[in-house]
Amino acid sequence: MKVQCKNCGHVYNLNEKKVPKRKAKFKCRQCQEFVYLNVANVPPKSQSKDQIKECPKCGFDLSPAAIECPNCNIILEKYKSYIEKKQAENMQNESDAAEGQ
Protein backbone atom coordinates (compact mmCIF):
# COMPACT_ATOMS: atom_id res chain seq x y z
CA MET A 1 0.00 0.00 0.00
CA LYS A 2 1.11 3.53 -0.66
CA VAL A 3 1.11 6.12 2.08
CA GLN A 4 1.79 9.75 1.48
CA CYS A 5 3.17 12.17 4.03
CA LYS A 6 0.69 15.00 4.23
CA ASN A 7 3.39 17.41 5.27
CA CYS A 8 6.01 17.01 2.55
CA GLY A 9 4.24 14.76 0.06
CA HIS A 10 6.79 11.97 0.20
CA VAL A 11 5.26 8.64 -0.78
CA TYR A 12 6.15 5.47 1.08
CA ASN A 13 5.52 2.05 -0.34
CA LEU A 14 4.65 -0.13 2.64
CA ASN A 15 4.41 -3.87 2.91
CA GLU A 16 0.80 -4.40 3.95
CA LYS A 17 1.63 -7.56 5.85
CA LYS A 18 3.95 -5.62 8.13
CA VAL A 19 1.44 -2.86 8.81
CA PRO A 20 -0.53 -3.22 12.06
CA LYS A 21 -4.23 -3.73 11.51
CA ARG A 22 -5.32 -0.87 13.72
CA LYS A 23 -4.38 2.79 13.66
CA ALA A 24 -0.72 3.23 12.97
CA LYS A 25 1.72 6.04 12.43
CA PHE A 26 5.39 6.45 11.67
CA LYS A 27 7.84 9.28 11.41
CA CYS A 28 8.53 10.67 7.96
CA ARG A 29 12.20 10.34 7.10
CA GLN A 30 12.09 13.50 5.04
CA CYS A 31 10.45 16.00 7.36
CA GLN A 32 10.20 14.17 10.73
CA GLU A 33 6.43 14.70 10.84
CA PHE A 34 4.16 11.82 11.80
CA VAL A 35 2.52 10.05 8.91
CA TYR A 36 -0.80 8.38 9.78
CA LEU A 37 -1.95 5.26 8.01
CA ASN A 38 -5.59 5.38 7.03
CA VAL A 39 -6.27 1.75 7.93
CA ALA A 40 -8.65 2.96 10.65
CA ASN A 41 -10.82 4.59 8.02
CA VAL A 42 -11.99 1.24 6.73
CA PRO A 43 -15.46 0.73 8.20
CA PRO A 44 -15.96 -2.41 10.28
CA LYS A 45 -18.00 -5.14 8.66
CA SER A 46 -20.62 -5.11 11.38
CA GLN A 47 -21.83 -1.68 10.34
CA SER A 48 -23.43 -2.89 7.15
CA LYS A 49 -25.41 -5.47 9.09
CA ASP A 50 -27.33 -2.78 10.96
CA GLN A 51 -28.88 -1.66 7.71
CA ILE A 52 -30.42 -5.04 7.06
CA LYS A 53 -33.68 -5.83 8.79
CA GLU A 54 -35.06 -9.27 9.31
CA CYS A 55 -38.50 -10.54 8.46
CA PRO A 56 -40.25 -10.97 11.85
CA LYS A 57 -41.93 -14.11 10.60
CA CYS A 58 -39.31 -16.11 8.70
CA GLY A 59 -36.06 -14.25 9.50
CA PHE A 60 -35.33 -13.50 5.86
CA ASP A 61 -32.82 -10.67 5.31
CA LEU A 62 -34.64 -7.61 3.97
CA SER A 63 -33.48 -4.24 2.76
CA PRO A 64 -34.35 -1.34 5.12
CA ALA A 65 -36.81 -0.01 2.54
CA ALA A 66 -38.67 -3.30 2.12
CA ILE A 67 -42.39 -3.18 2.87
CA GLU A 68 -43.06 -6.83 2.34
CA CYS A 69 -41.11 -10.06 2.64
CA PRO A 70 -40.34 -11.71 -0.72
CA ASN A 71 -39.86 -15.02 1.05
CA CYS A 72 -43.13 -15.47 2.95
CA ASN A 73 -45.12 -12.64 1.30
CA ILE A 74 -46.22 -10.91 4.48
CA ILE A 75 -46.63 -7.15 4.58
CA LEU A 76 -44.32 -6.08 7.37
CA GLU A 77 -46.46 -3.29 8.84
CA LYS A 78 -49.55 -5.48 8.86
CA TYR A 79 -47.71 -8.37 10.44
CA LYS A 80 -46.28 -6.05 13.07
CA SER A 81 -49.68 -4.70 14.09
CA TYR A 82 -51.07 -8.24 13.97
CA ILE A 83 -48.38 -9.42 16.39
CA GLU A 84 -48.91 -6.43 18.66
CA LYS A 85 -52.64 -7.08 18.75
CA LYS A 86 -52.07 -10.74 19.53
CA GLN A 87 -49.66 -9.92 22.32
CA ALA A 88 -52.18 -7.49 23.78
CA GLU A 89 -54.86 -10.18 23.59
CA ASN A 90 -52.60 -12.71 25.28
CA MET A 91 -51.89 -10.30 28.09
CA GLN A 92 -55.61 -9.68 28.46
CA ASN A 93 -56.31 -13.41 28.62
CA GLU A 94 -53.61 -13.95 31.22
CA SER A 95 -54.99 -11.27 33.49
CA ASP A 96 -58.49 -12.69 33.04
CA ALA A 97 -57.28 -16.12 34.07
CA ALA A 98 -55.54 -14.71 37.11
CA GLU A 99 -58.73 -12.99 38.21
CA GLY A 100 -60.73 -16.20 37.84
CA GLN A 101 -58.66 -18.10 40.38
Residues that bind Zn ion (CB under 5 A): 5, 7-8, 10, 28, 30-31, 55, 57-58, 60, 69, 71-72
Q: Which is nearer to Zn ion, 10 or 53 (CB)?
A: 10
Minimum distance of Zn ion from residue 59's CB (angstroms):
7
Q: Which is nearer to Zn ion, 27 or 92 (CB)?
A: 27
Q: Which is nearer to Zn ion, 71 or 93 (CB)?
A: 71
Minimum distance of Zn ion from residue 61's CB (angstroms):
10
DSSP output for the chain: -EEE-TTT--EEE--GGGS-SS--EEE-TTT--EEE-GGGGSPPTHHHHHT-EE-TTT--EE-TT-SB-TTT--BHHHHHHHHHHHHHHHHHHHHHHHHH-
Minimum distance of Zn ion from residue 5's CB (angstroms):
3
